[in-house]
Chain A
Amino acid sequence: MDRDVVIVGAGVVGAAIARELSRYELDVTLLEAGPDVGAGTSKANTALLHTGFDAKPGTLEARLVARGYELLSEYAPSAGIPVERTGALLVAWDETQRAEFAGIVERTHANGYRAIRELDRDELYRREPKLGLGALGALEVPDEALICPFTTPLAFATEAVLAGCELRRDTTVTGVERLPGGGFRVDAGGGSLTTRHLVNAAGLRSDELDRLLGYERFTVTPRRGELIVFDKLTRPLVRHIVLAVPTQVSKGVLVSPTVFGNVMVGPTAEDVPSKADTSSTAAGLDYLVAETDRILPALLDFDVTAVYVGLRAATEHADFQIAFEDGYACVGGIRSTGLSASMAIAEHVREGLELSAAPRAPRPPPRMPNIGEAFPRPYREAELIASDPDYGRVVCFCERVTRGEIRDALASPVAPVDLDGLRRRTRAHMGRCQGFFCGARLAGMLAEADRG
């Protein structure tokens, strides 16, 4: 066997699994069809670290989100993943929604989360004075948090790679086969390799990979979610994650600060036929603007900085689709809670695979460059600039990203290959000008890194 474990898919879930397994004496390969880690569904989600308060009690998802929250809350500060515990407010805009409160509180308690409490109208508006008119009250979930959706999978992948995990990007799996004597053959990127264990973390394509091995368990229907991100000048307008009361179809549109200091509105929820169609739509954007006008109208005095579209890997089942059979782990149907649950999913997969490998000597997680607004950033650190003037050279003005940070990202263990990758690692090009000032210079730096 070439490898002990091959993991297909380097989204946040696959990367978390790679990290988890890399802590043991195992030869692990992480295959990613796209150009980068965390560049599919993982990059365009609502970027929240959920407590799991509103999951369906008794489900695997409820258990793994709650456990994932614990694990990631502990991991994030040591790895430099920005997390801000703003708390969430679940706002009722009509009596029907308010009537749901009792059931939500009951479900939350059944999930073992006790800190939820109801706020009356006056307290709600005291806490969120810019909220649109007509809110009746809210449920407060004080432990809901913002998290960086870009740094998280990169931290996992970096830790894995530093521990010896092989990461292959731009490598699509074209075939898999269970070998007669145990183990698997994986055809990918024009070659093939054999492995004792196979982990399917292929996200939107997890059903297809599962079928290649002869299973017929679930079908992924991409659910498109469009998000709009407002200018940083709006950040003072909202303090909490403002959630909608969930319905059958989705959790509804939320208004939330981001760790980068913006305010985000979304997502829409629309089943689409294509697993590649991450286009925004006029109808979706119109809807989000209308929802913004209703929930937090003051946002509309400012420009939209960016539009993101993600495809959630929804299936016909309500719960995560995680199964183990003779060295194969299928990790499918992971939807928007995948980021929160990622580390718990990884733990669950390691246990489920029943690997008999000795743990490696523990090592601290890698220290990822901070790109969160609430934490020290290089341009603000006089000592750092004194030691290296490139940390004082701001290249991306809107996001205040320095030349030193860009240089570091281009030389990092999991380096970016394109502008999008550089953006997710540094915030360069993420801001309000969308490259008017720095886009060309960044393109030049990338071209130079490519040549060098």
Chain B
Amino acid sequence: MADGPVAIVGGGPAGLAAAVELRRLGVGEVVVIEREQDPGGIPRHARHQGFGLRDLRRPLSGPAYVRRYADLARAAGAELLLETMVTGWSEGALELTGPGGRSTLDPAAVVLATGCRERPRSARLVPGSRPEGVMTTGMLQQLVYLQGLPAGRRALVVGAEHVSFSAIMTLAHGGARTVALTTAQPRHQSVAAFRLGALARYRVPVWTGTRVSAIRGRPRVKEVELTDVADGSTRTVACDTVVFSADWIPDHELAVLGGLDLDPGTRGPVVDAELRTTTRGVFAAGNVLHGAEQADVAALSGHHAAAAVARYLEDGDWPARRVPILCETPLGWIAPNAVSGAGVPARGRFALRAHSFVRAPRIEIEQGGRVLWAGRVGRVMPGRSARLPHAWVSQVDPAGPPVVCALRPRG
């Protein structure tokens, strides 16, 4: 077994929860490497309530939630390296850059917990001018809550997931009224309580089946062109701010630098139920694995990874091979997305998302034509995960072809 600390890259909910649990399990040296000035990741600037229900069993605001986690991690004896970025990774060693200089860390194990980010306007290829006032929710929250800067007067929010509804509140705090939420999907993708709370308070319509087809104005946004997905008709809406929300993508740069295989669906590292990646000694947890789940779900993922890391430090076992799990369209991704051994995934479930809404679909999980599991789930959709059971994992032939997860009859 390699000596050295367990290096956790990323001090958001997943990384901090992993640190707390690793120390609780008796792992000697745990270092959390966080590139921001303060630990906590995205909840640092998500000021609404509702954090911590699943893990800390109490409702907290985002900043309070991650302050609590950072305190727990420090109290547990984990080291938090702040303003420190992993700028290289070769032959197992992490190259760190921070105000204290450049250094190398040769860890016994690595937990990648680098999180995810929202796709910006450019990655969504929305044409038009390039004015001020176009941003992601992540930037909006930091602008309003961390920098105390204004957010415009009239905003359009692109997306209709949890974070999109939270943007309404952030915008209001920053002095902007939200004209509407738009989604190309036929429905929103948030939970009722959250959505209704935001809508009742701010009376914001959700325009479904609507795509943003152009942004106009200079130097600041003046209007947005919207296209009806069904009939192609267009209309314009006056606004000075456009918030591109949700459409999360794992922040996977380090995973790629480290040579980890990425899953084609999630664009995060391929992991098995124990959150082991394709590189020995490297685990991944939280939202680097897939589009965003809520912070407490990410924390539970970090907690789950910590247990697997501790086992690995104990016995040094690493799977020689793994069977990938592939999704067939319209299913988008499944996580975990590889099977090796009969480990139970975090929270005892596989998470499944689709590119479009399908109500009460029949899902089949098969390997080489052999059905391992079949059943119905409530609904699959983009932006929010459906839950699949895990017991079928024990039937996977470790020498067999990839496992395929698909709609039946084909969607």
Q: Mark A residues whose CB is within 8 Å of B.
A: 228, 232-233, 276, 278-282, 284-285, 289, 303-307, 309, 379-380, 382, 385-386, 389-390, 392-394, 397-398, 400, 419, 432-437, 439-441, 443-444, 447
Contact = CB atoms under 8 A, between A and B. Distances in A.
B216 interface: yes
B94 to A, nearest CB: 15
Contacts of A233: 253, 256
Contacts of A400: 85, 87
A378 to B, nearest CB: 10
Interface of B: 35-36, 83, 85, 87, 97-102, 117-123, 125, 127-130, 132, 135-136, 138-143, 146-147, 149, 213-214, 216, 218, 249, 251, 253, 256
The 9 closest A-B pairs by CB, nearest first: A440-B142, A434-B120, A389-B99, A439-B139, A444-B147, A440-B143, A303-B123, A436-B138, A280-B127
B129 A392 contact: no
Contacts of B141: 440
Given A282-B214, A390-B99, A394-B35, A435 B85 contact: no
A410 to B, nearest CB: 16
Contacts, number: 124
A310 B140 CA distance: 28
B399 to A, nearest CB: 29
A43 B249 CA distance: 29
B216 A279 contact: yes
Contacts of B132: 419
B125 A392 contact: no
B99 A305 contact: no
Contact of B87 (A232, A379, A390, A439): A379
Nearest to A229: B122
Contacts of B147: 440-441, 443-444, 447
B102 A382 contact: yes
Contacts of A447: 147, 149
Contacts of B99: 385, 389-390, 392-393
A434 B140 CA distance: 12
Contacts of A435: 120, 135-136, 139
11 contacts: A379-B85, A380-B102, A386-B101, A389-B100, A394-B97, A432-B123, A439-B136, A440-B140, A440-B141, A441-B142, A441-B147
Given A305-B122, A382-B102, A437-B117, A279 B87 contact: no
Given A282-B213, A394-B97, A440-B149, 15 more contacts: A278-B130, A279-B127, A279-B128, A280-B127, A304-B125, A306-B122, A382-B102, A385-B102, A386-B101, A390-B99, A392-B102, A394-B35, A432-B123, A441-B146, A441-B147
Nearest to B139: A439
A444 B85 contact: no
Contacts of A281: 127
A390 B99 CA distance: 6
B97 A392 contact: yes
Nearest to A381: B102
B257 to A, nearest CB: 9
Contact of B121 (A232, A386, A393, A434): A434
A436 B139 contact: yes
B213 A436 contact: no
A379 B97 contact: yes
B96 to A, nearest CB: 10
A435 B121 CA distance: 11
A400 B119 CA distance: 19
Contacts of A276: 218
A305 B97 CA distance: 24
Contacts of B119: 303
A436 B248 CA distance: 11
Nearest to A303: B123
A400 B253 CA distance: 12
Given A385-B102, A441-B147, A284 B120 contact: no
A285 B136 contact: no
A309 to B, nearest CB: 8
A393 B83 contact: yes
A228 B117 CA distance: 20
B101 A385 contact: yes
A392 B98 contact: yes
A285 B214 CA distance: 12
B125 A382 contact: no
A440 B264 CA distance: 31
A404 B117 CA distance: 25
A307 B136 contact: no
B333 to A, nearest CB: 15
Nearest to A379: B97
Nearest to B98: A392
A443 B143 contact: yes
A374 to B, nearest CB: 16
Given A303-B249, A379-B97, A393-B99, A436 B136 contact: yes
A380 B83 CA distance: 15
